[in-house]
Chain A
Amino acid sequence: MISLLPISSLLLAAGEVNITALDKFKDFVNRWSVPQYSLPLFCIIMFAAFIWYRKWTKPIVFWPLMLGFTVVYFAFIPLDESYASILKKPDNVPITMMIFLTLYFLWLGLRQAAINDENMEIGKPLIEEDREDKVLCWPDLVYTELLAMVLCTVVLIVWSVLLKAPLESPANPAGPPNPSKAPWYFLGLQELLVYFDPWMAGVVLPGLIILGLAAMPYIDTNPKGNGYYTFKERRFAILTWMFGYLILWCVLIVFGTFLRGPNWNFFGPFQVWDPYRVDPLTNINISDVWYVVLLGGKLPDNLLVREWPGLLFTFFWLCVLPVLMTKIGFFGRLRAQMGFSRYYLMAVLFVIMMLVPVKMVGRWTFNLKYIIAMPEINFNL
C-alpha cells in the first residue's frame, strides 16, 4: 500500500518534512544550476549585458543590482548549511573575491566605454582625451602608488589575521580525497575534463589559450579603440574575448570549485554533497550513433572506417568552416581586411574555442562522448 503513495505526501504525513517557500526556492535553484541550463543562461545574460551596456552601467541601475546580488549571495550562508560550507571553505574565499572584483571592474570598464561611445556619437571628446594635459609623476603618480601599496598591505594583513591559510591532514599517497581538485585557477580546465580527454583539456586547449592570447595583437588589425574604453568600435573582439574569459574561464572555475562534489558529480549550491550518489554514464560516440543506432549494424574493425563520421566532422569544423564563414558578410569583410594568414589564424583559433561549447551541447542533447574515439592510440576527441 505504502509504495502506491507519492513519497512527498508520505513524508508530509509523517510530519518530518515541511516544504516551505524557501525550500521550493532552493530546489528551483538547484534544478536550474546544472550546466545544461545555467551555462546557456549565463551566455544569454552576458550577451544581453553587452547589448544593453549603455543602460545597466548607469550607476543608478548598477549599484542597486550589485547590492541585490551581494545580499542574495551572502544571505544564504545562515539559511543553508551546504551553501555555507562551500563559501566558508578557506580555499574558496578567493573565488568569492574573483566574482565580485570581476563584476565590479567589468562594470567600471563598460561604464567608461558607454560614456565614450555616446561622446563619440555627439562629437564630444573621449574621457581619455587630454593630450596636452600632463602632470608630474611626483607627487601625482608616486603618491597614488604609495597609497595603493599601503592599502594592499592592510588588506593582506587583516585577511591573514582573520583567516587561517588552508592546511589539511598530512599527505597520504594511499588516500585520495573525493573529489580531488586542482588549484582553483585551473578548475576551468578540470571542468573541461568532463567533456574532453586530458590531452585536450590539460594540454592542447591551455596551450592554445596561451598561443591565442599572445597572437592577439598581431591578429587584431582594427586600429580603433587603442588606448581608451570603447565597445562600439570593437564589438567582435570584445564579445569573443569576454565569452572566453567570463564564460569558459571564470564561470567554469565557479562550477569546478563550488558545484563539483564527490566523483566530480554536479551538485546545486543548496545540495548536500552525497558521496554515494551515482550518476549513470550512458554516453555514446559518434561512430556508435552512425553504425549501431542509425544503420543498426556493428562497428567495423578498421579504425579509419569506424571513425570516418567523426573524422569528417573534425575536418569540416577545422578546415572547411573557416572558409565557409567568409561567405557570411561580417567574416567576409574581416577576411578582406585582415589578409590570408591573419584571418585563418584567427578563424582556426575561433572555431577551436567554439568546439568547447559545441561538444557541451552535444553531451547535453544526445549524450555525446567522443567525436573521434580511437582509444587504441589514446586519441579521443
Chain B
Amino acid sequence: MIQGVINSIRESQVWSSIFRHGIPRDRRTRVMAIMSNVFLHLHPVAVRKSGIRLSFTWCMGGLTFFLFIAETISGVLLMFYYRPVVEYAYSDIIGMRAHLTLGIMREIHRWGAHAMIISVWLHMMRVFLTGSYKPPREFNWVVGVILLVLTMLLSFTGYLLPWDQLAIWAITVGSKMAEATPFAGMAGPGTELLQLPGGIPIVTPYSDAKFLLLGGESVGEAALLRFYVLHCIAIPLGAATLIAVHFWRIRKDGGISGPM
C-alpha cells in the first residue's frame, strides 16, 4: 500500500519535473542525482575513497558550512524580535527567552557561533596537517584564511548585540586595540608624528581607527548599530561570497587532496 503511494508520487508529473532522474539505485541514476541538482553538483560525481574517510577530513569544513547555515537561519529568526537600539536591545534579548515559543533560538545561535569558531580552527589544523595548502591549492588556503578571520569577526560583532555587561566591556577591550593601531589610532605609535604644516594633526580622536569602528569615542548607540549592520549584512555577505569561491576552487584545484 505505502509502497504504491510512494511509487505513484515518484511517477507523477510534479515529481519528475523536479527530479529528472529515477531513484538513485544504479550507477547511471546516482551520477544523475549529483549532476542534475544545483546544490549537490558542488560535488564531483565520483571521489577517491580515502579522500572521504572521516578520519581523513574530520568533516570539519562541512560542519563549519553547516553551522554557517544554521547561524543564518536562527539569526534571521532572531532579527524578527531584536531592535538594535540601546533602550530595547537588552529587554528584547530577555523577551526572546521568556515570550517566544521554542525560546532556545538565541541559545542555538550563541552556541552555534562558538562551535563554528572551533570547527573552523580544527578544519585549518586538518588542512595544515595533511599539507593540503600546498600547490595547487595555495590560493584556496588564502581564501580560507580570510574566511577564518571573517568567522571570528562575525562572532565578535555579534558579541555586542545583547547589550549586557559581558558585551560592552568585551568590545571595549577590543576597541582599545583599534585605538593603538600604529599611525591610525590615537594611542598608537607614530600617530602624533603625522601632522600637516603648522602642527595640525591628521589623525584626531574623531577620525582615528577606534572612531571608525565604534562611530564614537566609546561603545554606545552608534557602535551598537554599526556592529548590528556588520553582523547581519556586511560580513555574512562577504563570507557567503568567499565560501562560494572556496568551494568552487576545491573542485577546480582537483577535489579533496590526496597523495600526488
Q: Which residues of A contact B (CB under 8 A)?
A: 91, 93-94, 97-98, 101-102, 105-106, 108-110, 112-113, 126-131, 133-142, 144-145, 148-149, 152-153, 156-157, 159-161, 163-173, 175-177, 180-186, 189-190, 197-199, 201-204, 210, 213-214, 216-218, 220, 222-230, 234, 238, 241, 245, 374, 377-380
Contact = CB atoms under 8 A, between A and B. Distances in A.
Contacts of B259: 126, 128-129, 131, 226-228
Nearest to B164: A168
Nearest to A230: B131
Contact of A176 (B51, B109, B172, B191): B172
A253 B188 CA distance: 25
19 contacts: A101-B118, A134-B48, A135-B52, A137-B43, A164-B107, A165-B111, A167-B94, A172-B165, A175-B165, A177-B166, A182-B173, A198-B180, A203-B177, A218-B138, A223-B134, A227-B132, A229-B129, A377-B192, A378-B189
A169 B54 contact: no
Nearest to B46: A134
A101 B122 contact: yes
Category for how many chain B residues contact A = 35 or more
A138 B34 contact: yes
A131 B48 contact: yes
Interface in B142-160: 142, 145-146, 148-149, 152, 155-156, 159
A185 B174 contact: no
A102 B122 contact: yes
Given A163-B111, A173-B220, A198-B187, A214 B142 contact: yes
Contact of B145 (A153, A156, A168, A214): A214
B33 interface: yes
A115 B133 CA distance: 22
Contact of B118 (A97, A142, A157): A97
Given A168-B166, A226-B131, A245 B174 contact: no
A111 B188 CA distance: 46
A164 B164 CA distance: 15
A33 B190 CA distance: 38
Given A109-B126, A377-B192, A136 B49 contact: no
Top 9 nearest A-B pairs (CB, nearest first) are A202-B177, A160-B107, A198-B180, A217-B138, A379-B189, A165-B110, A227-B257, A94-B114, A199-B180
Interface string B20-61: 000010010011011000001001111111111011101100
B67 interface: yes
B47 A135 contact: yes
B238 interface: no
B188 A203 contact: yes
Contact of B70 (A127, A153, A224, A380): A153
B181 interface: yes
Main secondary structure on chain A at its contact with chain B? helix
Contacts of B90: 170-171
B245 interface: no
Max count, chain A CB within 10 A of own CB: residue among B70, B107, B133: B107
B205 interface: no
A226 B257 contact: yes
Interface in B73-106: 86, 90, 93-94, 97, 104, 106
Given A156-B108, A181-B170, A182-B173, A105 B125 contact: yes
A144 B134 contact: no
Contacts of A217: 133-135, 137-138, 141-142
B201 interface: no
Given A142-B43, A164-B107, A378 B169 contact: no
Given A94-B114, A138-B24, A173 B47 contact: no
A157 B189 CA distance: 47
Contact of B104 (A145, A161, A228): A161
B182 A225 contact: no
B214 interface: no
A163 B110 CA distance: 11
B193 interface: yes
Given A139-B30, A201-B177, A217-B135, A156 B115 contact: yes
Contacts of A137: 34, 40, 43-47
B256 to A, nearest CB: 9
B260 interface: yes
A136 B32 CA distance: 11
Contacts of B173: 180-182, 190
Contact of A156 (B111, B182, B219): B111
B105 to A, nearest CB: 8
Nearest to B166: A168
Contact of B128 (A102, A134, A241): A241
A202 B70 CA distance: 30
Contacts of A106: 125
A180 B24 contact: no
Interface string B221-258: 00000000000000000000000000000000000011
B215 interface: no
B162 A167 contact: yes
A245 B123 CA distance: 13
B212 interface: no
Contacts of B130: 109, 225, 227-229
Contacts of B54: 144
Contacts of B15: none
Nearest to A172: B165
Given A140-B49, A203-B181, A225-B131, 5 more contacts: A112-B55, A126-B259, A130-B50, A133-B49, A161-B104
A49 B15 CA distance: 56
A262 B44 CA distance: 54
Given A105-B125, A128-B50, A134-B46, A148 B177 contact: no
